Amino acid sequence: MSAPARILPARILIVDDEAPIRRFLRVALEAEGYAVSEAATAREGISATARENPALVVLDLGLPDADGVQVLKDIRGWSAVPVLILSVRADEAGKVEALDAGAQDYVVKPFGIKEFLARVRGLLRDRATDVPEAVVTIGPLQIDAARHCASLAGRPLHLTRREFDLLWMLASHRGRLVTQGMILSALWGPAHIDDSQYLRVYIRQLRQKLGDDATDPRFIFTEPGVGYRLADM
């Protein structure tokens, strides 16, 4: 009799430039059984959201390299992950702007940890019926987000971290067009949204490792001037 599959804890990403806040939240969340990741800047937060596919993002609005509302809008361009805003901004207009941009909830600093954890539980309950896949299989290609690895016909693919992040982002939206801007913003940061040459280089490297022919692709399809689509089969 095989052992029951181990259920991985929900992963929560904290995006906040204040290290003490991140440490405080990490201790509280891990005590409740959650897995926790951290990011200190907008760029790190967007990249980690794409790379780790968290169950929930806790997002501060006062980040050093971009406003949190813009980060939220960037994430909403390609992900429906629940976002809980954590901010010192208590004005109604600021709250409305964040909620209109796609946040699910808003907590003002300073806050009570019991209330914060209750908000987290509520958001995760709301998403329980829409849990993202941890492993995507497309023909002979298998991509495992939890283990951060991929294989082709049973043989491991030796991918750099950036190559894997790109492949996983395409896999998360397989069968659908992912624009160049969405990918560049998620993996390189909002400042690189027009640097399509970065993306072409990594797409070419991925195709080489997948044995994929750009003129007759099996996996990665190009929509010229727009973006890329991973096959869904």
* Furthest C-alpha separation in the chain: 58
Dihedral in degrees, nearest 10, Cα atoms 78, 134, 163, 63: 50
Q: What residues form DSSP beta bridges with 229?
A: 221
| Start-end of CATH 1.10.10.10 domains in the chain | 135-230
Buried b (16+ CB within 10 A) or exposed e, 51-60: bbbbbbbbbb
Please identify, in words, the CATH class of the domain defined by 11-130.
alpha beta
Please identify, in words, the CATH class of the domain defined by 135-230.
mainly alpha
pTM here?
0.61
| Start-end of CATH 3.40.50.2300 domains in the chain | 11-130
Residue-by-residue pLDDT tens, the chain, 233 positions: 444 444 568 899 999 999 999 999 999 999 999 999 999 999 899 888 888 889 999 999 999 999 999 999 888 877 889 999 999 888 888 888 888 888 989 998 888 999 899 999 988 886 654 545 678 899 999 998 878 899 999 999 999 989 999 999 898 878 877 888 888 877 887 777 778 888 999 999 999 999 999 999 999 999 887 889 899 76
The helix or strand, by DSSP H or E, that contains position 110, with its residue range, turns out to be none
Cα-based angle 87, 93, 98 (whole degrees, multiple of 5): 55
Residue 6 has a pLDDT of 45
Q: Which amino acid is at 215?
A: T
Q: How far is CA 95 from CA 13, 50, 98, 101, in A?
A: 21, 25, 5, 10
Strand order in the sheet with 83-87: 35-39, 11-15, 56-60, 83-87, 105-108
Residue 78 has a pLDDT of 75
User: What would you report as the CA-atom Rg of the chain, rounded to the nearest whole angstrom?
Assistant: 19
Residue 8 has a pLDDT of 66
Cα-based angle 166, 146, 30 (whole degrees, multiple of 5): 120
